[in-house]
Amino acid sequence: MSGLIGKKIGMTSLYDEGGKNLACTVIEAGPCVVTQLKNDEKDGYNSVQLGFFDKKETRLNKAEKGHAKKANTEPKSKVVEFKGFEENLKVGDTVNVNHFIEGEFVDVSGISKGKGFQGVVKRHGFAGVGQSTHGQHNRLRAPGSIGAASYPARVFKGMRMAGQTGNSKVTVQNLKVLKVVPEKNLLVLKGAVPGHKNSYLIIRK
């Protein structure tokens, strides 16, 4: 689906017509530059490649410099492909926040906050043990049994256990566009989105 690349600014709140306070996320969405157009004949599929946020020249390699030069634009930090644009875009064109309309719904993808190695209570929402008597000792937040003994004599794949938490791609679907601010390229969405402040987001219709 068509969309834009954005950067998470932070969270705020707005009041709706009924006076209800809504938690919102503010995103700097675009302007994004069309850096490449892909088609069936050459690439086997149709898509529009967008670039967002200028990248320092000291951090570029020759391939990135050549790619940006061909598109007649500055090299970009984040480059993503989108499908389904209704507009007839050309390389070098700019797509801004006006691509979205207030009241429509979007899907937002990003990298969630990394939380390191965590136990089952934080990672999977295990309850732990409420009762701390009758020989419970010091295993209040332990996972408990992870399988039977002589049969099947192994731990099943997918068993919920302690491990690395967060820092993975997450998509939140059907977030309502509450406000579009074209002068500042801002998009205000109802609800929360993955990632920390200033992290890159992909917003799809």
Query: Please, which residues have CB within 8 angstroms of residue 66's CB and are 6 or more apart in sequence?
Result: none
Set out the domains of the chain in order of their start, with CATH numbers: 3-116+168-204 (2.40.30.10), 117-145+154-165 (no CATH)
Segment 123-158, tens digit of pLDDT = 999 988 767 777 777 778 888 889 988 999 999 999
What was the pLDDT predicted at 192?
95
Segment 57-85, tens digit of pLDDT = 888 888 888 888 888 888 888 889 998 78
Instruction: Give alpha helix (H) positions in the chain.
Output: 40-43, 62-70, 120-124
Segment 84-132, tens digit of pLDDT = 787 788 888 888 898 899 999 999 999 999 999 999 999 999 988 767 7
Q: Are 31 and 94 in contact (CB under 8 A)?
A: yes
Segment 16-66, tens digit of pLDDT = 888 999 999 999 997 999 988 888 888 888 888 999 988 888 888 888 888
Rounded to two decimals, the pTM is 0.83
The token duo for 102 is: 């207030």
Q: For residue 156, give the 3-state DSSP assignment.
A: coil
